[in-house]
Chains A and B, each alone.
Chain A
Amino acid sequence: MNALIISAILGVVMMFSSILLKQKNAVRSVAVSGIILLLLANILEMSGTVFFKVNTRGMIVFDQFALLFNSIIFLATLLYLLLSAKDMEKVGVNYAEYFALIFFILCGITLVSSFKSLLILFLGIEIISIPLYILTGSDKRNLKSNEASLKYFLLGSFSTGLMLMGIALYYGARGTFSTVIDPLITVTANPLLISGMSLLLFSMAFKVSAAPFHFWTPDVYDGAPTVFTSFMATIIKAAVFIGFIRLFDDAFEQVQSTWRIWIAVMTAVTLFIGNITAVFQQSVKRMLAYSSIAQAGFMLLSLYSMNTEAKEGLLIYAAAYCFATIGIFAVLAKMNDYTFDGFNGLSKREPLIAATLTILLLSLAGIPLTAGFLAKFYMLKATIATPNSLWLVIFAVLMAAVSVYYYFRVIQAIYFKEESTSSPTIEFSPFFKGAMLILAGLVILLGLFPDILVNWLYF
């Protein structure tokens, strides 16, 4: 409850700070201290200190899973702001409002990670989505940003409509919006419940950009300003995944036999389309968009297996994926040239940035000693534990091998290609380099000792 209320207040504070503070540095410091406050308040709640006691009538339950996930998200947002907050100046004039919207989105994420009623899920998803439409279109003079924003808005509200229909049918079948089901009651698979479940499945798949509902992702991620693409591709995606897994774990656990095969097919198709299309991209930004689809495919494995390892694995996956992608996008946002050639010869100019970027890319590709490897390992371990799923595991490993190709293309450009002489040099501040070092350090630390994260779940 701490994080929910404080994030909403911080959003309002950021809106006022645009009136009161004229300097952009001051606004930025307010935002960064705000997110640190949020993180601390959430960690305090994990150890039992709750500032606000609100009776939500069981609609919101902050269990250890939700709180730990929120902490990961807030830490990722903190690192995101440290790395990319300066680049938001380039997007438009409403600097403080962007931070306000980000805090409102965090409020929505807190709801999505802790709902026990479909009403809260709906509100959370909408509180995440509506500010995102604005952030996508925040580069008002840029036609690509406009188009991305309109496309995202139309398709996003369409999927919200599907989700609401699913919720209404669920309500018709069960007579309540609560996702808590008494284990003594057996839920019969009547047509109302099954059709509601499939509509919810479609709309959530849409929001996490799982194939065949992924078609909007590359366009929107490509058109949005790069700083906000970074936020959308990492933090939002992980948050919606937590909502997805909570929904199907709680509300539809008893009809698992009907949806498990759908998820399996969806996972396989997502992995295939994401990885194969990413191979053919020329722009790193678009490649990262397809890579985010591919990584979503891996995260879907946790939904397929739905056991303890899958939940632990999803937390590690969310952390590993967010940290790595935020770092890569932060460097990309500073580039003038978004093609692979833009990275040529980076190791000569900026050896430190090149080294950290390589670690992050290796983590995304799933090379051992990094968090990405361990995250993939947990997912596959969880999937093997489910019966009749060997084909999916083998397919996922094959697709992970394909993904190595396009991540290594960037590494190859950084280390083994000559820089063209005409390109203007890019300045990286010492502060930026420090933040990148922290990210790379976190990725390796998590890859060596995943227990420091997982242990939080159980005490």
Chain B
Amino acid sequence: MPINNYILLSIALFCIGIVGVLTRRNAIIIFMCIELMLNAVNLLLVAFSKMHAKAALLAGDISGTAGTDGQLFVFFIMVVAAAEVSVGLAIIVMMYRNIHSVDVNFLNRLKH
């Protein structure tokens, strides 16, 4: 499959994530949309990694290491996303204990 399809797919996923973050009001759903954005990036990185590996192969590099750093990056994103999830859910739970809601419209109170 040409690389453009992968790029389009992951940009579509990324945009869905952005629109979700900007329009939804439930903190958990916003959070899921952020995860969607991160996973779109993961997909894109893997696709680019394959693209660079293929390009290196065509250019005569037979070591097979070209493009592996993109896949390594994906693991780092996963680990960091897991750390972020643990902290983020803790914050949402803390919020829920105090106001019994996870609606971000409550956040407007800080402005006053």
Q: Are A168 and B84 in contact (CB under 8 A)?
A: no
Nearest A residue (CB) for B99:
A143
**Segment touching B, from A71-79, A119-127, A293-301, A376-384:** A119-127
Interface readout for B69-104 with A: 1 if CB under 8 Å, 0 if not?
A: 110110011001001100110011011001100001
Q: Are A165 and B37 in contact (CB under 8 A)?
A: yes
Q: Once the chains are docked, how many angstroms separate the CA of A300 from the CA of B96?
A: 38
Closest approach, in angstroms, between the C-beta of A411 and any C-beta of chain B? 28
Q: Which residue of A157, A164, A165, A171 is within 8 Å of B88 (Cβ)?
A: A157
Q: Which residue of B38, B84, B109 is within 8 Å of A130 (Cβ)?
A: B84
Known: A144-B110, A147-B109. A158 touches B34 (CB 8 A): yes
Q: Are B98 and A133 in contact (CB under 8 A)?
A: no
Interface readout for A121-165 with B: 1 if CB under 8 Å, 0 if not?
A: 011001000100110010011011011111101100110111011
Nearest B residue (CB) for A152:
B91
Q: Are A147 and B34 in contact (CB under 8 A)?
A: no
Q: Once the chains are docked, how many angstroms separate the CA of A148 from the CA of B94?
A: 12
**Segment touching B, from A172-180, A263-271, A347-355:** A172-180
Q: Are A153 and B88 in contact (CB under 8 A)?
A: yes
Q: Once the chains are docked, how many angstroms separate the CA of A157 from the CA of B99?
A: 23
Known: A119-B76, A126-B80, A171-B45. A150 touches B34 (CB 8 A): no
Q: Which residue of A176, A222, A223 is within 8 Å of B69 (Cβ)?
A: A176
Interface readout for B7-42 with A: 1 if CB under 8 Å, 0 if not?
A: 100000010010001000001001100100110110
Interface readout for B39-66 with A: 1 if CB under 8 Å, 0 if not?
A: 0110011001001100100000000001
Say yes or no for B1: interface residue by CB 8 A criterion: no
Q: Sort chain A's interface into a size bin.
A: 35 or more
Say yes or no for A219: interface residue by CB 8 A criterion: yes
Q: Are B45 and A130 in contact (CB under 8 A)?
A: no
| A residues near B30, Cβ cutoff 8 Å | 154
Instruction: Give chain A interface residues in 213-235, CB to chain B under 8 Å.
Output: 219, 222-223
| B residues near A140, Cβ cutoff 8 Å | 94
Q: Which residue of B34, B48, B80 is within 8 Å of A123 (Cβ)?
A: B80
| A residues near B88, Cβ cutoff 8 Å | 133, 153-154, 157
Q: Are A154 and B17 in contact (CB under 8 A)?
A: no
| B residues near A164, Cβ cutoff 8 Å | 37-38, 41, 77
Known: A122-B76, A123-B76, A219-B111. A157 touches B41 (CB 8 A): no
- A-B contact sample (11 more), CB < 8 A, given A153-B91, A161-B38, A168-B48: A119-B73, A141-B98, A143-B99, A144-B109, A146-B91, A157-B34, A158-B37, A165-B37, A171-B45, A172-B48, A219-B107
Q: Are A161 and B17 in contact (CB under 8 A)?
A: yes
Closest approach, in angstroms, between the C-beta of A42 and any C-beta of chain B? 26
Known: A165-B14, A165-B41, A175-B52. A147 touches B107 (CB 8 A): yes
Q: Are B110 and A154 in contact (CB under 8 A)?
A: no
Q: Are A161 and B37 in contact (CB under 8 A)?
A: yes
Q: Once the chains are docked, how many angstroms separate the CA of A137 from the CA of B45?
A: 33
Can you spell out 22 A-B residue pairs with CB atoms less than 8 angstroms apart?
A: A119-B72, A119-B73, A122-B80, A130-B83, A130-B84, A146-B99, A150-B27, A150-B91, A150-B107, A151-B107, A153-B91, A158-B21, A158-B34, A162-B37, A164-B38, A165-B14, A165-B44, A167-B41, A168-B41, A169-B44, A172-B51, A222-B110
Known: A164-B41, A171-B45. A150 touches B17 (CB 8 A): no
| A residues near B76, Cβ cutoff 8 Å | 119, 122-123
Nearest B residue (CB) for A140:
B94
Nearest B residue (CB) for A165:
B41
| B residues near A172, Cβ cutoff 8 Å | 7, 44, 48, 51
Interface readout for A108-125 with B: 1 if CB under 8 Å, 0 if not?
A: 000000000001001100
Q: Are B34 and A137 in contact (CB under 8 A)?
A: no
| B residues near A143, Cβ cutoff 8 Å | 98-99, 109
Closest approach, in angstroms, between the C-beta of B46 and any C-beta of chain A? 10
| A residues near B44, Cβ cutoff 8 Å | 165, 168-169, 172
Closest approach, in angstroms, between the C-beta of B55 and any C-beta of chain A? 8
| A residues near B98, Cβ cutoff 8 Å | 141, 143, 146
Q: Once the chains are docked, how many angstroms separate the CA of A324 from the CA of B46?
A: 46
| B residues near A165, Cβ cutoff 8 Å | 14, 37, 40-41, 44
Closest approach, in angstroms, between the C-beta of B58 and any C-beta of chain A? 13
Q: Once the chains are docked, how many angstroms separate the CA of A126 from the CA of B83?
A: 9
Q: Once the chains are docked, how many angstroms separate the CA of A134 from the CA of B87?
A: 7
Q: Once the chains are docked, how many angstroms separate the CA of A146 from the CA of B72?
A: 35
| B residues near A151, Cβ cutoff 8 Å | 104, 107, 110
Q: Once the chains are docked, how many angstroms separate the CA of A151 from the CA of B99?
A: 15
Q: Once the chains are docked, how many angstroms separate the CA of A158 from the CA of B52?
A: 28
Q: Once the chains are docked, how many angstroms separate the CA of A97 from the CA of B70?
A: 35
Q: Are A149 and B69 in contact (CB under 8 A)?
A: no
Nearest B residue (CB) for A177:
B69
Q: Are A150 and B104 in contact (CB under 8 A)?
A: yes
Nearest A residue (CB) for B80:
A126
Nearest B residue (CB) for A219:
B110
| B residues near A146, Cβ cutoff 8 Å | 91, 94-95, 98-99
Nearest B residue (CB) for A141:
B98
| B residues near A169, Cβ cutoff 8 Å | 44
